[in-house]
Amino acid sequence: MEETKDNKIDSNHSQNVSALEHNIKSKGEFSYYYAHGRKFENREQEQGKIIEGPGIITGGDPVLLEKSSKTIEIIKEPKKFTKYSFYNDEKFVKIQIEIPTDIKDHISDDCINVNFQERSFDLKVDVPNSDPYLMSIKKLFQKIMPEESKAKIFKAKIIISLKKKNEDEEWDKLNA
């Protein structure tokens, strides 16, 4: 096998010149590494110089610009009623909400606050010495009569009675 001039590196040359330098010297401006060539023009490279003067940023130690602290308010996810069922009565749609065992002995009808609207309701149960429990239906299946709707506690359940605006309508679901 014959070696070409470009591939041939004698042992003296390889000890003094890296493959990068050799590639640049042998291929000149067509070398893949040509852009790095200036690095090898002067074997005795200068150490870095710090140039200072007006308008020149030279770095230095970090400088603290500002120190501040903020109080972060922790926002808790509200407790929500998750177990409920509903059924269709002649004049009412009734929702039975299961009261969690950890609060059922601590609440009464006085703790219940319900805001009824024609197509929605918001339930809030204030639990003494604890966070309130919430339930909200934003779009009921049909319209109700808010002034005739009510809520009460009965046998470890909250019963919400939604008075139907049109008693002939059957509710297939609770939400629209």
Note the pLDDT of residue 38. 54
Quick check: 166 and 131 in contact, CB under 8 A?
A: no
Burial class from Cβ neighbours inside 10 Å (0-12, 13-18, 19+) for residue 148 reads middle
- Domain containing residue 25: 11-40
**69 in a structural domain:** no
Note the pLDDT of residue 11. 44
**65 in a structural domain:** no
Distant-in-sequence, close-in-space partners of 116: CB < 8 Å, separation ≥ 6: 144, 146, 147, 149, 162
Note the pLDDT of residue 120. 96
Q: What is the pTM of this model?
A: 0.58
What is the CATH classification number for the domain harbouring 90? 2.60.40.790
**2 in a structural domain:** no
**111 in a structural domain:** yes
**Are 141 and 94 part of one and the same domain?**
yes
Categorise residue 28: left if φ over 0, alpha if ψ from -120 to 50, beta otherwise: left
Tokens at 7, concatenated: 């591939």
**Are 102 and 32 part of one and the same domain?**
no
DSSP per position, 86-145:
EEE-SSEEEEEEEPPTTTTTT--GGGEEEEE-SS-EEEEEPPTTS--EEEEESSBSS-B-
Note the pLDDT of residue 60. 72
Residues of the chain with confidence (pLDDT) below 70: 1-16, 33-50
**126 in a structural domain:** yes
**Are 89 and 141 part of one and the same domain?**
yes
Positive or negative, the CA dihedral 166, 172, 173, 176 is negative
Q: Tell the residue number behind the tokens 């197509």, with chain if given.
A: 119
**Are 97 and 145 part of one and the same domain?**
yes
Name the domain count of the chain: 2
Give which of 136, 130, 93 is closest to 117, Cα–Cα.
Answer: 136
What's the rounded Cα separation, in Å, for the pair 156 and 170? 27
